[in-house]
Amino acid sequence: MGVDAYSWPGSDDELVEVQYTLAADAEAALAAQPWTFDGQPAVGGCFVAFARGESGPGHRGDRAWAAAVSLRGRAIVAQSVAVQQVPAAYAPGLLARREGPILQAAVGDLRPGPDVLLVDATGLDHPRGAGLALHLGAILGVPTVGVTHRTLVASGAVPEHLRRGATAPVYVRDRCVGYWVCTKTAARAVVAHAGWRTSPETAAETVLAASSSRARTPLPLRHARRVARTTRASAGAG
DNA sequence: GCGACAG
DNA sequence: ATCTTGTCGC
């Protein structure tokens, strides 16, 4: 069960194999050591910004700027950045190869580390049950929750009424893997994904708690995105 | 064959 | 992800 087994694979085929192992281990990890939202946890967030003006959805070698932050309530307790050229192009289901290494570098430098980490990616909602949010948590040994604008393979209708706090489940083969969560009244809901050591219910609770009624995107992710883009700009790529 | 496809 | 354009609202 060592996290070493989950290190970022050097090929698509290797990643696919790791994902199958990860999916099984994630179920065991959740059963043995479930993370629950209690008290005022430090909630982390991470984001990767790519050079502007590139053609297509991304290539191997693209320059990227990543940022990770940790917030306790609205107070910033830690912040870090990482700059790398990513090793792979973007491909649905294989996002970990492209963004995993740089996110691990950024989040790994956070001191102190967060109690739970929000990642712009899916978790159980994945062709092999192991999206980047879950994978990153396994490697870092940190509970994670995924946040995306839409599902990858899961299905489920959005909440009927866009009132902050409204939720609606999303499923993969009859299994609930996350929830649509309306974080801001009158704004389209986001998907909160069960990740490493987190249930779909905890994912939804965490995303709502980490959001303010004024911003659709959870604060840790919003802050990480801002820091990543600012870093990109200071590098003369924005 | 055609469209869809986390970021 | 990034880009463009348009609309609504504080």
At position A196, the amino acid (one-letter code) is: W
pLDDT for A4 equals 57
Task: Give whole-number Cα distances, A90 to A50, A57, A87, in Å.
Answer: 12, 6, 10
Give the CATH fold of the A3-234 domain.
Answer: archaeoglobus fulgidus dsm 4304 fold (3.30.2170)
Task: Give pLDDT, residue A236.
Answer: 80
Q: Establish whether the CB of A120 is closer than 7 Å to any nucleic acid atom in strand C.
A: yes
Q: Please count the residues of chain A.
A: 238
Task: Output the pLDDT for position A2.
Answer: 45
Q: Which residue gives the smallest C-alpha to C1' distance to C10? A: A214
Measured from Cα to the C1' atom, the residue closest to C3 is A53
In this structure, are residues A71 and A223 in contact, taking their beta carbons and an 8 Å threshold?
yes
Q: What does the pLDDT average to over A106-132? A: 98
Q: Which nucleotide is nearest to A150 if distance is taken from CA to C1'?
A: B6
Task: Please answer whether residues A196 and A29 qualify as being in contact, where contact means their C-beta atoms are separated by less than 8 angstroms.
Answer: yes
Distance of CA A147 to the CA centre of its chain: 6
What pLDDT shows up at residue A238? 58
Protein CA at A188 to nucleotide C1' at C8, angstroms: 14
pLDDT at A3 over 80: no
Chain B, protein-covered positions (CB within 7 A): 5-7
Q: What is the pLDDT of residue A219?
A: 97
CA of A58 to C1' of C3 (A): 14
pLDDT in tens, A12-42: 999 999 999 999 999 999 999 999 999 999 9
Q: Where are the domains of chain A?
A: 3-234
Q: Quote the mean pLDDT of chain A.
A: 95
Closest nt to A147 (CA→C1')? B6
Answer whether any strand C atom is within 7 A of the Cβ of A141. Answer: no
Nearest to A210 by CA among A1, A43, A92: A43
| Pairs from A80-84 (Cβ < 8 Å, separation ≥ 24) | A80/A106, A80/A107, A80/A109, A80/A110, A81/A106, A81/A227, A81/A228, A81/A231, A82/A106, A82/A109, A83/A231, A83/A235
Residue A1 has pLDDT above 80, yes or no: no
Residue pair A198/A30 in contact by the 8 Å Cβ criterion: yes
pLDDT digits (tens, 9 = 90+) for A144-166: 999 999 999 999 999 999 999 99
Per-residue three-class SS string for A183-213: CCCCCCCEEEEECCCCCHHHHHHHHHHCCCC
CA–C1' A34–C6 (A): 45
A99 touches strand C (CB under 7 A): no
Beta bridge partners of A175: A172
Chain C positions within 7 A of any protein Cβ atom are: 1-3
